[in-house]
Every structure is written in structure tokens, then in C-alpha cells.
Amino acid sequence: MATTVQPTAVAVPKPRGIAKYLAWSIDHKVIGIQYIATSFFFFLVGGFLAELIRIELLTPAASLMVDGGAYNTLFTMHGTIMIFLFVVPMLAGFGNYLVPLMLGQKDMAFPWLNAFAFWMLPPAGVIMLAGWLVGPAQAGWTSYFPLSGPQYSPFDGQTLWAISLHLVGASSILGAVNFIVTILNMRPPGMTIWQMPLFVWATLATSIIILVATPFLAGGLTLMLLDRLAGTSFFSPATGGDPLLWQNVFWFYSHPAVYIMVLPAMGILSEVLSVHARKPVFGYRFIALSSLAIGFLGCIVWGHHMFTSLASWARIPFMLTTMLIAVPTGVKMFSWIGTLWGGKIRFTSAMLFALGFLSMFVLGGITGVFLASVPVDIHLHDTYFVVAHFHFVLFGGSVFAIFAGLYHWFPKMSGRMLNERLGKIHFALTYIGFFLTFFPMHFLGLEGMPRRIYTYDPKYEALNVLSTIGALIMAVAIVPFLVNLAVSLVAGKPAGSNPWRALTLEWMTSSPPPDHNFDEPPIPASDPYGYGTPEGAAYLASGGKMALPDSGGGHAHTDQPIERPATGD
Amino acid sequence: MTAMQTAFDHEQFQRAQALKNARLGLLLWRFANGMAFIFFVFANLLMRNVQPSWPPPGVERLPIALPIAITLVILLSGMTATRLLKAVRANQFGEALRFGAATLALGAVFFVGLLAAGAQVTPSGPYSSITWAMLFFHGLHVTVASLLLGAVLIGVWRGRYSAERHWGVEASVVFWHFVDAMWLVFFAVIYVL
């Protein structure tokens, strides 16, 4: 007679409550929440800087800033913090929390490495913010040479900027290795690669991009530091270097980084839309494979950031590859619309943010196709049109999806529901504020207003005022969310294990899950998106313990330790 | 089947899973690490692309005798590293230690040769910058690989490994081969192209 192998009891007393999140832990759930909390803090910091930018731009004259340098610092730190210390680690946090649970596992493949990767992040943040003590970076988040070289950025903040990003990059590479091994090697029996949740697919594609591209960031930053500290001649024209070399290596990383920031967000969207529309995902394989296609194409488009400085023969190839990305992205958009079509949509806060993503991301995507076109880009390069474009993609896309994910999985992470009324207020204010902030920037760009300036021609004033009003609405919008978080953590309605009646494995255990995640190895549903189907209903009724007829089982429940089949990849 | 048997099977299974994970993890690490080497190749090619000639006008081409010699040394060290792994797999630890020591010694000779190759470069702006950076980057990897191998050899000496369980030895030898292979790429880019 077989017996279940019990998870070994841990003898050392564990820190309880909030203390466990402030200490070294190798539990992927603790690490996931550490990532989410740390990056949310940086979201607030970056948001505060953005508000200062918008207040400065309320009038054409200098109103808040003593000089342009102070303004340069603002947009440099805003961009860097939002990208490297908020969106990237926030999505890594979702991945850490969810991937092992979605695969029915106890933890990631390398738990220690996982903790190590997280703990590189707080020092990176401190080093970045320490720039203010020694003269902060002013060269923009792209840090083009010669602006970021020793000649124009003699202060140490630029050096700290590079060191901080080095840490973020290393953390991201270690995390990616961990995700790929976990996803490829640790799927539970009964879950082929074509039955993985789409969020896991998206994390896999993202991790592959990180392994390809992030070493280029590390290399570029190393050469930047050498130019700044050792007087070498890589990028710095003063010593015979080539500024375009920096643009090439920087964008070889930073364009794929756009997909590092949006693919997991798209993964969140696939989960949220299907669950809250109570319908199977439309075109599962197309969504899964389009992530890989976007990842591949994303690595061969970097030249489109340099149309104005690139050799003319290279423009057309980069234009074509860039436009091609619209195809897999369009596949995703249509699949999501197909998922919603005829669904029994529940307008929860999570669903509202997901729908917000759909409507806003499509605008950002289309302006992306405009900018991919060389003749258009030559005119719109470095104008507010570009600012509008990437905020529609990154805020309208990634940030909306992050909020959708927070509303969707907060019950799992905390065991309590968020308040839906406050959630809807948060959504409405964010949606309106976002649109009002960034939509007018398209027109400003078309009229020729350059980005990264703190005083401007008075003819742009009216649209800038609108934009600043929108930004203030967004600042107000975060208040109901913070109140909601604080109140619901203490007094929210208990969530139960599966408040959304979802089919993926993270919902087949208590909320929050125990340290070992699952009391027994869970059996995955044969179709993780079989909402509204009899099989899906039967699986839900069994609480995730029943193998479905077509998953080859027949045993409703087994207490034997489940081993992976010898073949099956 | 007894409970003990099940627990034993479970442990076996977990160990096999851990080894499988570690092997894939190291493969992915080599891929990412290899991309960092490719970064330097990419930078080198772009830098020569904006110069009228390479080396730039007025800069001497580097002599190739010493680089060829150290290339032979590092190739030889790859062979001794392979013999080290084979010896451990055959439970011949005395032989493993001898081959391990030979690998480390060849690595040290290579490293000294690398320093000498660096000394042959005279400061000349872009050309010397990228050449030094590549030599330094590779030397850094030789150092790390040597430290790993040294730590593993101490383990071999203390009898920590067996023919069945020697992931540490395998990992350090695999990484050594990776560093060897990357030198061949760098050698071609710095001295041949």
C-alpha cells in the first residue's frame, strides 16, 4: 500500500506576518510578493516624478524648475524607474508567484537563486535613488552618448545609473533561467506544453528574450562605465569613440525589453479575459505561438529607433520587420475579441482593466505602425507623438494589465477580496485620466512639439493643460486603490480558494496557499480554459481533484505521489 | 511496496529531477553568457565598420605567434578537462586529480599568456579599447572557471564525488569547455579577421 510522502515539517520558527516579507525567503510566493511590493513602491516614486513633469509643463514658461538640468533629471529618473524598477520587476513578481502554482509545483526549480535574483533589486533601487545625493543622471533613460559621457555628464549619478541597471539586468537573467527550467522541466503529469496556462507561455517567451537581449545591456553598460571611468574610446566622441555604437547595443536590448514588459502583461490578459467572460480562450495555440513570434521578431527590429541616424540601406529592412510585428500582435487582439464574443461577461474590476488594455493597447499598437514607417518617423522622431505612442503601449498596455492582474490574483495572494466599488472608481478615474493625459500628445507631436523640453511655444499650451489635468486625475485615481489595498488586507471579504471559479491550478488550493502550495499534487484540467463547457463545470465541482475523461485518467483521485512520465516533452 | 520504498523512490525521483534542472539551467546560463561574448564580437565588428581600415591607420597589426601558442594551450586544457570527467566517471580519483591539476596548470599558463598578449597592445583609442576589453572579459571567465575547477578538485580530493554523483565535476568541466570555445571565437575576431 502506497503512502503519501508528507512535506517535511520545518523545525525552525518562521517569521510571521509582515516580517517574513522583509527577510530572506526562498518561498516563491514570498519572493513574488516582495517583487510586487518593491516595484509598486517604485511605481509611486516614478508616478510622483511624472506629476512634477506635468506640473512644469502646465505653462509654456519655466514654472517649477530652476533650470533645464533639473527637468532632465526628472524625465530621466521617471523613465528609468518606471521601466527597470517598476514594470519589469512587477511582471517578474507575477511570474514568481504564479508560475509554480499554475504548474502545481511546490516551488521554482532553483529557489535559492530566485531569492538571490530578487535581493539584487532593492540595492539597485537604492543606488538609482542615491543619484540625487551626488548629482543625478540627466541623459534620459536611453542615455545616448555623448550626453551620458564624461564630457556632458561629469557627475556620479550617471555612473550610479549604469551600476543600478547592471544589477537589474543580472537579476533579470537569473530569473529567466529559473523560469525556463521550471516551465520546461516541471510541468505536472497531465499537462502537456499545449495545456499550459497562457500566462506561463508568455513568461516562457519573455524569459527567452531576456536571455538573448539582456547580456547586451550588461555589455553596453560595462563599456559605458569604462568610457566614463577609464577613459576608453567606445562611445565617447571626445576620445575617438562612436556614439552610434551605444545606440545599436542599447536598442538591441531595449527594443526586446519592450516585449519583456508587454508579453507577460498579455499573458495576464489572456487569463483574466477568459475567466471573467466565462468562455474558452479563442485560438489558444495562436496566442501561445504569437508570443514566441513577437519575441523572435522583437530581436531584429532595434534599428527603427535610429531611422534618423542609421545607414539608409538599413532602414527598409528594419521598417519591414517592425511592421511584421503587427501580425502576431493582431493575432492576439483578434483572439481576445473572439474570446469575449458571446461570453457571459462579468464586469469585475479585473475585467474592466483588461478591457481598458484592449481599447488602449490597440491605439498604441497602431501608432507603432505609423512610427515604423520611415517617412513618417523622420518627421515624428523625438516629438510628443512618440511619447504618446509608448505611453499607450506601456501604460495603456502593461500597467492596465498589471492592475487587472492585481485585482484578479489579490484574493489568492491575501485570502481576501478587494472592494469592487472602490475598484471601479479606481478604474474609471485611471481610464479617463490616462486618456486625457496622453491622447492630446498625439496632436502636440503632429504639430511638432519636441519631447524632453521644459519650456515650449505658447501655441501648444491648451493641449498641455488638458494633459496635465489628466495627469492630476490619475494621481487622484491611485488613492481609492491604496485605500482599497489597506482596508481589504485587514477587513476584506474572505475569498475562499476559488472566488472567480477559475480552472487553472493556482485556484485549486487555499487562499493564500500553504507554504508547500498543495496538500496533494493537483490534477490539471485537460483544458485550462474550458469555461462554460460540461467538462469545465465537472472539474470545478470536483475542486481540481478529478481527472477529466479525456485526460486519459479514469481514476478520480489518487493518493500516490505522482511522478512524471518518462517521456512526454 | 513499503512506505520506506516509496520514500526512497520519491527521493530518487527528486534527485533525478534536480539533476535534469541543473543541466538545463547550466545550458541556459551558457547561452546567456555566450550572448555576452557575442556582444563583444558585435561591438568589435561595428567599431571596425566606422574606421577606414582595421586596425585603424597608424596602428600596427598585432603579432599572432603568442595568441596561437596560448590557443594550443587552452585546447590542450580542454582535453585534460575531458579526461578529468572520464576519470571521475570511472571512479579513478587519483587520475582525476592529476588531470585536474594539469588542467589548472594549463589554464594558468594560458592566463599568463593572455596578460602578455594584452601587453602587446599599445594604447591607440578604439582599437586598443575593444581589444583590451575582449582580452579582459575572457581572462575574467578563465579566472572564474579556474576557481570553480579548483573548488571541485578539493572536493575530489576529499572524496565528495562518486561515479554516480558528480554534478559539480560535470558542471565545472562543461563551463571550462565553454570558456575554451569562446576563446576560439575571440581569437578569430581579434587576430584573424
Residues of B with CB under 8 A from a CB of A: 1, 3, 6-7, 9-10, 13, 17, 20-21, 24-25, 28-29, 31-33, 35-36, 38-40, 42-43, 46-47, 50, 125-126, 129-130, 132-133
CB A228 within 8 A of CB A158: yes
| Contacts (Cβ under 8 Å, ≥6 apart) of A80 | A128, A137, A141, A161, A165
- All three cell numbers of A290: 504569437
Question: What tens digit of pLDDT does each residue of A455-492 get?
Answer: 999 999 999 999 999 999 999 999 999 999 999 999 99
Alpha-helical runs (H) found in A193-234:
198-230
pLDDT digits (tens, 9 = 90+) for A106-142: 999 999 999 999 999 999 999 999 999 998 999 999 9
> Can you tell me the distance from the alpha carbon of B69 to that of B64, in angstroms, rounded to the nearest whole number?
9
pLDDT value, residue A469:
97
User: What's the rounded mean pLDDT across residues A75-87?
Assistant: 96
One-letter amino acid at B143 equals T
C-alpha cell at A153: 555628464
| Residues of chain B neighbouring A186 (CB-CB closer than 8 A) | 17, 21
| B193 Cα to chain A: minimum distance (Å) | 19
Cβ distance of A561 and B133 shorter than 8 Å: no
Q: pLDDT band at A13, cuts 50/70/90? A: low
- Window 428-487 of A: residues touching B by CB (8 A cutoff) are none
CB-CB under 8 Å, B3 with A215: no
Partner residue facing B35 (CB), from A1, A110, A211: A211
Could you tell me which chain B residue has the CA closest to the CA of A215?
B36
Q: Compute the average pLDDT of residues A143-162.
A: 92
- Is B4 a member of any domain? no
A–B CB contacts, 8 A cutoff, strictly below = 102
What residues in A contact B59, CB-CB < 8 Å?
A: none
Contact call for residues A115 and A25 (beta carbons, < 8 A): yes
Residue A554: left (phi > 0), alpha (psi -120 to 50), or beta? Answer: left
Q: How far apart are CA B126 and CA B145, in angstroms?
A: 29
Cβ neighbours of B125 in A, within 8 Å: 233, 239-241
Select the residue of A180, A233, A240 nearest B28 (Cβ to Cβ). Answer: A180
The helix (H) or strand (E) run that includes residue A537 is helix A534-541
Phi-psi region of A501 (alpha: psi -120 to 50; beta: other; left: phi over 0): left
Q: Which of B21, B36, B43 sits opposite A185 (nearest CB)?
A: B21
Residue A542 is given by DSSP the state: T
Question: How many Å lie between the alpha carbon of A375 and the closest alpha carbon of chain B?
Answer: 25
Task: Please report whether residue B19 resides in a domain.
Answer: no
The answer to whether A181 contacts B3, with C-beta atoms less than 8 Å apart, is no
Cβ contacts (< 8 Å) between A228 and chain B: which residues? none
Task: Assess whether pLDDT exceeds 90 at residue A404.
Answer: yes
Confidence of residue A16 (pLDDT cuts 50, 70, 90): low
**Among the partner residues B10, B28, B130, nearest to A211 by beta-carbon distance:** B28
ipTM of the complex: 0.93
Tell me whether residues A245 and B129 touch, CB distance under 8 A.
Answer: no
Which of A334, A268, A254, A244 has the alpha carbon at shortest distance from A298?
A254
Are A102 and A195 in contact, with CB atoms under 8 Å apart?
Answer: no
Q: How far is B92 from chain A (nearest CA, A)?
A: 31
Q: Is the pLDDT of residue B12 over 90?
A: no
CB distance A245–B25 less than 8 Å? no
Task: Quote the number of domains for chain B.
Answer: 1
Give contacts of B3 with chain A, Cβ < 8 Å: 2-3
Classify domain A24-551 at the CATH topology level.
Cytochrome C Oxidase; Chain A (1.20.210)
Å from B114 to nearest chain A CA?
20
Report the pLDDT value the prediction gives residue A142, as an integer from 0 to 100.
Answer: 94
* The pLDDT value given to residue A560: 41
pTM, two decimal places: 0.92
Nearest residue in B to A565, CA atom? B13
User: Is there a contact between B20 and A185 if contact means CB atoms under 8 Å apart?
Assistant: yes
> Residue B40: its chain A contacts at CB < 8 A?
219
State the smallest CA–CA distance between residue B7 and chain A in angstroms. 6
Per-domain residue ranges for chain A? 24-551
pLDDT above 90: residue A320: yes
pLDDT score at A543: 78
Pick the residue of B35, B48, B135 with the most A CBs within 10 A to test the interface with A by mutation: B35
Going by pLDDT thresholds of 50, 70 and 90, the confidence category of residue A542 is confident
Output the domain CATH number for residue B45. 1.20.120.80
Quote the DSSP letter at residue A459.
Answer: G
pLDDT value at B40 more than 60: yes
pLDDT confidence band for A546 (50 / 70 / 90)? low
Kindly state whether A500 is in contact with chain B, defined as any CB-CB distance less than 8 angstroms.
no
Q: Verify whether the Cβ–Cβ distance A110 to B10 is below 8 Å.
A: no
Among A426, A354, A444, CA closest to A396: A354
Q: Is A156 helix (H, G, I), strand (E, B) or coil?
A: coil
Chain B CB within 8 Å of residue A151 CB: no
Cβ B17–A185 below 8 Å, yes or no?
Answer: yes
Share of chain A above pLDDT 70, in %: 93
Q: What is the per-residue pLDDT across A326-336, written as a single tens digit (0 to 9) for each?
A: 999 999 999 99
Confidence of residue A551 (pLDDT cuts 50, 70, 90): very low
Flag whether residue A145 sits within 8 Å of chain B, measured between CB atoms: no
Lowest mean pLDDT among A394-403, B2-11, B123-132, B159-168: B2-11
Q: Do B126 and A234 touch (CB under 8 A)?
A: yes
Closest C-alpha among A83, A179, A77 to residue A129 = A77
pLDDT over 90 (residue A4): no
Residue B145 lies in a domain: yes
DSSP secondary structure string, A292-347?
Answer: HHHHHHHTT-GGGGGTTTS-GGGHHHHHHHHHHTHHHHHHHHHHHHHHHTT-----
B5 domain-assigned: no
The predicted pLDDT at position A275 comes to 96
Whole-number Cα distances in Å, A521 to A194, A506, B84, B157: 20, 12, 41, 41
Q: Is pLDDT at A201 greater than 70 in this prediction?
A: yes
- Average pLDDT of the residues of chain A: 90
Residue the block writes with cell 485518467: A553
Q: Is residue B1 over pLDDT 90?
A: no
- A242 pLDDT higher than 80: yes
Q: How far is Cα A467 from Cα A445, in angstroms, rounded to an integer?
A: 13
Q: Which residues contact B43 (CB under 8 A, 6 or more apart)?
A: A219, A223, A234, A245, A249, B130
How far is the CA of B78 from the CAs of A241, B107, B143, B183, in angstroms? Answer: 37, 9, 15, 12
pLDDT of residue A5: 46
Dihedral of CA atoms A276, A282, A287, A289 in degrees, nearest 10, equals 150
Report yes or no on B109 lying in a domain.
yes
pLDDT at A188 over 60: yes
Quick check: A236 contacting B, CB < 8 Å? no
Residue B122, exposed/middle/buried by CB under 10 A (0-12, 13-18, 19+)?
exposed
Element (H, E) at B119: helix B93-119
What range does the domain containing B69 cover?
29-192
Chain A residues whose beta carbon lies within 8 Å of the beta carbon of residue B129: 226, 232-234, 241
- Contacting residues for A147 by C-beta, under 8 A, at least 6 apart: A138, A139, A140, A153
Q: Which grid coordinates are listed for A383?
A: 516629438
Looking at the domain assignment, is residue B13 inside a domain?
A: no
